[in-house]
Amino acid sequence: MGSVNRTQTLIGGRTFTLHMVHDITDHAIPFRGIFWIVTGVPVGITSSFEVIAFHAVAKSRRAEEIFEQHARFLAERDPLTRTLNRFGFSNKVNRMIQDCDLACRRACLVQIDANKFKEINDQYGPPWAILPSVQLPN
């Protein structure tokens, strides 16, 4: 459970305290929801729900943006080396081409073929094969 936040809110001339008992944006992002408890005597049920909805929407949008960024990162990267996979590489190259077209600039693509990479992997195993696969792209 996250830290408890308290927010004083004025609704219809009365002050209400909103207690956030769980903020999921600091934890597992796949969940979408923020839980609020309102203390005090509500002036109108609609007013109090509007304030709660405002805070909840603001937090869930942030959680959704973070979730989408994380999902995009995982979809475009190799899980072992964290380098771009085919999908991520293709997207990045296409964005670079568009940027170069807009700025009237040129781009160059360099391909490096790591010779005997399979033999290194077969002879020394994955721990040694990971090093070149991470270092070469960097």
Give the per-residue pLDDT at 66. 81
How far apart CA 129 and CA 58 sit, in angstroms, is: 45
pLDDT in tens, 5-29: 455 544 555 555 554 444 444 443 3
State CA 69 to chain mean position distance: 3
Give the per-residue pLDDT at 98. 92
Query: Given CA atoms 115, 118, 119, 125 in this order, what sign does their dihedral have?
Result: positive
Could you list the pLDDT tens digit for every one of the 138 residues in the chain? 444 445 554 455 555 555 444 444 444 334 334 443 333 333 333 343 433 444 444 456 777 788 788 888 888 888 877 888 888 888 898 999 999 999 999 888 877 777 777 777 788 777 676 666 667 666
How far apart CA 17 and CA 39 sit, in angstroms, is: 6
